[in-house]
Amino acid sequence: MNKTLQRNETREHLLITGEQLCLQRGFTGMGLSELLTLAEVPKGSFYYYFRSKEAFGVALLERYFARYLRDIEFQLQQQSGSTSRERLLCHFRAAERLFREQGHIVGCLGVKLSAEVCDLSESMRNALQHGAGKIIVAYAQALEMAQQQETLHLPQPPAQMAELLYLLWLGASLQSKISREVQPIQLALSTIEQWLKAH
């Protein structure tokens, strides 16, 4: 096998394994020895793939947000026969439904690490901020299209409204994670539905 390809595959495997560990234990609770053992990568070889645990954390977040953004863009752009407003509402309703079905926040590294790493690592904080910014842009584009398609009276301009949507949902997700109750997310969804009501 090509050495570069093998290196990239091992690096990706470490990131996949690390994401699962972080979702269970948090970033500080993830030990490199445990990571390498679970990934079946020789101990001591971690620094061949990442210069530090912090650099690994940045790569984790960049990978997570890239995948999450692709999913959001697909949800907001690819469904035919529905308006941009309806697709945006479906995006939030699907997340609320997933929480009700699973009883917890599923697979959201952004929610898991947002409070933990901001004071721990400036580069990881920047990765979180950069990822959030791209999601907010996707929401803003959907809101702008929604205004063009329907009579929609938003409380704020689309760019500000998109940030409000992200902040509301992140806060509700954190509170639902803390309480292990769906009510914070349901309240956020109800508020979003009011904000996006067509007239």
Q: Give yes or no for residue 14 having a pLDDT over 90.
A: yes
Domain residues of the chain, as ranges?
A: 1-49, 54-195
The whole-number pLDDT of residue 150 equals 79
Q: Give yes or no for residue 82 having a pLDDT over 60.
A: yes
Q: Report how far residue 53's alpha carbon sits from residue 32's, in angstroms, rounded to the nearest whole number.
A: 8
Q: Report how far residue 173's alpha carbon sits from residue 39's, in angstroms, rounded to the nearest whole number.
A: 29
Structure tokens at 58: 């940045």
CA distances from 84 to 88, 96, 149, 166, 196 (A): 6, 19, 8, 17, 11
Q: Report how far residue 103's alpha carbon sits from residue 25's, in angstroms, rounded to the nearest whole number.
A: 18
pLDDT in tens, 102-147: 876 666 888 888 878 888 899 999 999 999 999 999 999 999 999 8
**Domain 1-49 matches domain 54-195 at the CATH topology level:** no
CATH architecture of 1-49: Orthogonal Bundle (1.10)
Considering the domain 54-195 in this protein, what is its CATH number?
1.10.357.10
